[in-house]
């Protein structure tokens, strides 16, 4: 089976996150040359997307702390032209953001046609962290699944293709990565005591993610559960899905505004 298809959370189906193995590589060997070729294709397709201007691509990355969101952005998007790409990291809402509905700050960051937008965390924090820490009543956050689905439906109506990746790591792998941040002086800055505090809520986050993935994986914007214990395989798989998605858009260079055969430069 195509690994990408195996990673999809089938819309409308029962889903159990514990059935997805974060160590899975689908018998595919790690191949840096294959990733390099895929990234070269990604560069060409991004240039075509930017020229075409009929479509936009929104990439949503969700993961627990140390799950690999930053690493995925750094490695998979390494050759992307910054002119046509924007990365937005959603942290704790500011007072201005709190004064609006929860999707207000999200909508402002949606990429324009021709561009790629990458969300490091996203609208899903309002059914994940908000739920786990009981920041709003259940009757409020529970409505947000439908709000999110309607919002994403509206974006796809406007030719915004949405790719949603949950980078799935094990609790043991998270421990290793957090310890590495402590032991490596060049990575100390990435460590926060809040990472340890959030780790105590692991089981609650797993339940919250399972519900979000199941309730918000739709035909228009399905979720992909990416096995992410192996960083190289994670990068390869995400890159392959992004390239395949761009390939299927039918992108074309626009027709020139003038008859090139009649242009003479003296």
Closest CA relative to residue 115, chosen from 164, 45, 68 = 45
Quickly state the pLDDT bin for 29 (edges 50, 70, 90): low
Q: What percent of the chain has pLDDT over 90?
A: 86
* 246/256 Cα distance (integer angstroms): 22
The mean pLDDT of 21-47, rounded to a whole number, is 88
Asked if pLDDT for residue 28 goes beyond 80, the answer is no
> Domain map of the chain by residue range?
3-249
Q: Is the pTM of this model over 0.85?
A: yes
Phi then psi dihedrals of residue 136, to 5 deg: -140, 160
Residue 30 has pLDDT above 70, yes or no: no
Q: Which of 29-33, 80-84, 135-139 has the lowest mean pLDDT?
A: 29-33
170-215 tens-digit pLDDT: 999 999 999 999 998 898 988 888 889 999 999 999 999 999 999 9
Q: Report the pLDDT value the prediction gives residue 1, as an integer from 0 to 100.
A: 58
Condensed to tens digits (0 to 9), the pLDDT of residues 75-115 reads 999 889 999 999 999 999 999 999 999 999 999 999 999 99
Cβ within 8 Å of residue 59, ≥6 positions away = 116, 117, 118, 119, 163, 165, 242
From the candidate CATH numbers 3.40.50.10540, 1.10.10.10, 3.40.50.2300, 3.40.50.300, the one assigned to the domain spanning 3-249:
3.40.50.300
The three-state (H, E, C) secondary structure of the chain, written as one string: CCHHHHHECCCCCCCCHHHCCCCCCCCCCCCHHHHHHHHHHHHHHHHHHHHHCCCEEEEEEECCCCCCHHHHHHHHCCCCCHHHEEEEECCCCCHHHHCCCCCHHHHHCCCCCCCEEEEECCHHHHHCHHHHCCCCCHHHHCCHHHHHHHHHHHHHHCCEEEEEEEEECCHHHHHHHHHHHHHCHHHHHHCCHHHHHHHCCHHHHHHHHHHHHHHCCCCCCCEEEEECCCHHHHHHHHHHHHHHHHHCCCCCCCCCCCCHHHCCCC
| The predicted structure's pLDDT at residue 4 | 87
Per-residue pLDDT reduced to its tens digit, 232-249: 999 999 999 999 999 999
């Amino acid at each position: 089976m195509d690994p990408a298809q195996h990673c999809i959370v089938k819309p409308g189906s029962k889903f159990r996150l514990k059935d997805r193995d974060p160590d899975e590589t689908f018998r595919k060997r790690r191949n840096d040359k294959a990733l390099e070729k895929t990234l070269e294709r990604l560069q060409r397709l991004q240039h075509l997307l930017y020229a075409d201007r009929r479509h936009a691509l929104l990439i949503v990355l969700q993961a627990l702390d140390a799950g690999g969101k930053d690493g995925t952005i750094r490695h998979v998007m390494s050759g992307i032209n910054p002119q046509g790409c924007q990365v937005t990291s959603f942290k704790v809402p500011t007072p201005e953001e709190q004064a609006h509905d929860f999707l207000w700050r999200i909508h402002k960051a949606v990429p324009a046609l021709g561009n790629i937008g990458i969300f490091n965390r996203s609208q899903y924090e309002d059914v994940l962290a908000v739920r786990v820490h009981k920041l709003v009543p259940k009757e409020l956050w529970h409505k947000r699944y439908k709000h999110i689905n309607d919002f994403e439906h509206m974006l796809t109506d406007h030719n915004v293709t949405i790719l949603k990746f949950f980078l799935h790591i094990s609790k043991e792998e998270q421990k290793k990565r957090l310890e590495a941040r402590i032991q490596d002086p060049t990575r100390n800055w990435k460590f926060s005591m809040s990472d340890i505090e959030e780790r105590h809520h692991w089981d609650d986050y797993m339940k919250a993610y399972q519900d979000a993935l199941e309730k918000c994986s739709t035909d228009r914007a399905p979720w992909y559960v990416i096995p992410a214990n192996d960083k190289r395989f994670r990068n390869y798989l995400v890159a392959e899905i992004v390239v395949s998605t761009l390939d299927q858009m039918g992108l074309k260079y626009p027709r020139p505004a003038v008859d090139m055969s009649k242009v003479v430069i003296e």
